[in-house]
Amino acid sequence: MAQLYDRYSSVVYAVALRVLGDTGAAEDVLQEVFLQLWRKPSAFDAARGSLASWLAVITRNRAIDTLRRRRPETDIEDVIVSVVPDLAAEAERSRASEKVRGVMGSMAPAQRGALEMAYWQGMSHSEIAEKTGEPLGTVKTRIRSGLIALRKAFQT
Amino acid sequence: MNEHEQIADDLALYALDALSGEDRSRVEGHLSECASCRQELEFLRGDAALLALSTAGPRPPQRARTRLLEAVAREPRVPRVIETRSRRSWWGVLGWAMAAAVVVFALSLWRENATLRATLASASARAAENARDMEELRKIAAPILEPSSQRVTLVSTKTPPQPQGKAFYLRNRASLVFLANNMPPLPPQKVYELWLIPTSGAPVPAGVFKPDAHGNASVVNPPLPASAEAKAFAITVENESGSATPTMPIVMMGAGE
């Protein structure tokens, strides 16, 4: 566990901190995520993707749940993640990081905004529509094509 | 528009947990029946994970690590080992050198982390397929890992204990385990640095280490270039952060046996 923690704690903490903006709360999420993994290591399926990506998804979901002030709803066993590139190593992660920032940078501001609101602030589609004044259908399409744009950037 | 297309946009939102109410139940209903959408959901979550991985941030405070390891030590059951590479047996995939590396790693954390013993025990149990290798490994591991075993360093009766190091190097896996004993202590800002001396080219840094109170030290699987052919290994004394090139003098050296 110490080795896993040393390798992946910075990813988990960074995601939790970005969502919650509070180091204490981020630490709590960090604890919960690793403890959950310790208790149920079988929840992670190595054949499908990298542990880093899976941890990132779990962490973000937990952090969003905390942000919304609910009990964590996502049981880690429900979460299956398939990722095309192998992002196990630190070097690959930072290359991927650069790439993602590039894609986000070249996205239209409205699209980037919608994606960030949904992802980092845990806003629902209706909340986003209300905040931006855009129709629901537009918000949905924006978010989906945003995710596909990220996927495409890693497929070439 | 067929149901799939209608679901497609909603699926992305569902992956981000940004869908609620009727839309959400409709998607969940569809997912229970549609394998291709379930797979697409996995991919969408993966895409979203890319967003998460793009965060750079401060490292968590040290106390979080301590807190976690203590909480883990308090957990009642012995958990199974998490495989991050393949589904095959841990020992089988790793091979001999890595197995030795695990033993050394366990040794170095022995005093601090009793749960490592449990993990090692459960890993041993899971590798029953490689019974013969495991038997060998147990024979080797037992005297090293058992706290009750006696540790003796044998030295020539005429001279004081000499520093000694042994390097185990598996070239095709770029896998290196190094064990040292009787290493003299170093002042605070200095470390020993291990070097792989290739058959051609400059010495390759192979990890830094400081001996413990008993003069023992180890280096386990430092990052190494693939397939470096080692003519010899050497040790120098460097500043705390290590060095890219060796600083003379060479304090220890050995060539292959």
pLDDT at B172: 73
Of B123 and A34, the structure prediction assigns the larger pLDDT to A34
Q: Which of B92, B111, B145 is the last residue of a domain?
A: B145
Contact criterion met (CB below 8 Å) for A150 and B18: no
Q: Which of A4, A100, A125 sits opposite B19 (nearest CB)?
A: A125
Number of domains in chain B: 3
pLDDT digits (tens, 9 = 90+) for A95-126: 888 888 899 989 999 999 999 999 998 899 99
Contact between chains at B13 and A125 (C-beta distance less than 8 A): yes
Give the closest-approach CA distance of B61 to chain A in angstroms: 8
Contact between chains at B60 and A140 (C-beta distance less than 8 A): no
pLDDT at A2: 81
Chain A CB contacts of B55 under 8 Å are 11, 14-15, 17-18, 97
pLDDT at B22: 87
A108 in contact with B, Cβ within 8 Å? no
Best residue in B16, B85, B116 for a mutation probing chain A (most A CBs within 10 Å): B16
- Is domain A89-156 given the CATH code 1.10.357.10 in the classification? no
pLDDT at A129: 93
Instruction: Count Cβ neighbours within 10 Å for each residue of B219-230 and write b for 16 or more, e otherwise.
Output: bbbbebeeebeb
What global pTM score does this model have? Answer: 0.52
Question: B169 φ, ψ to 5°?
Answer: -125, 125
CATH architecture of A1-85: Orthogonal Bundle (1.10)
Per-residue model confidence as pLDDT tens for chain B (257 residues):
567 777 888 999 999 888 888 888 999 999 998 888 988 998 888 888 888 887 777 888 888 888 888 888 887 755 455 545 443 444 444 445 555 555 555 555 554 455 556 666 666 656 544 566 656 666 666 655 555 555 565 666 666 678 888 888 877 777 788 888 889 999 988 999 999 998 888 999 999 999 888 888 888 888 888 778 888 999 999 998 888 899 988 999 988 65
Give me the interface pTM, i.e. the ipTM.
Answer: 0.83
Contact between chains at A38 and B85 (C-beta distance less than 8 A): no
Size of interface A-B (CB pairs under 8 A): 191
Contact between chains at A30 and B64 (C-beta distance less than 8 A): yes
Q: Do B175 and B196 have their domain in common? A: yes
User: Which of B19, B48, B27, B44 has its CA nearest to residue A123?
Assistant: B19
Q: Which of B113, B145, B177 is the last residue of a domain?
A: B145
A76 in contact with B, Cβ within 8 Å? no
Chain B CB contacts of A114 under 8 Å are none
Q: Which of B53, B73, B94 is the last residue of a domain?
A: B53
Chain A CB contacts of B72 under 8 Å are 1, 34-35, 38
d(C-alpha A156, C-alpha A143), whole Å: 21
Q: Do B198 and B231 have their domain in common? A: yes
Tell me which long-range contacts A24-31 makes (C-beta under 8 A, separation of at least 24). Answer: A25/A63, A25/A66, A26/A63, A26/B60, A27/B60, A27/B61, A27/B64, A27/B67, A28/A66, A29/A59, A29/A62, A29/A63, A29/A66, A30/A59, A30/B60, A30/B64, A30/B68, A31/B64, A31/B67, A31/B68, A31/B71
Chain A CB contacts of B18 under 8 Å are 118, 122-125, 128, 143
Asked if the structure places residue B48 within a domain, the reply is: yes
Domain around B8 = 3-53
Give the closest-approach CA distance of B245 to chain A in angstroms: 23
pLDDT at A114: 92
pLDDT at B157: 64
Asked if the structure places residue B152 within a domain, the reply is: no
pLDDT at B102: 56
The CATH number that applies at residue B226 is 2.60.40
Chain B CB contacts of A124 under 8 Å are 18-20
pLDDT at B146: 57
Give the start-to-end residue ranges of the domains of chain A.
Answer: 1-85, 89-156
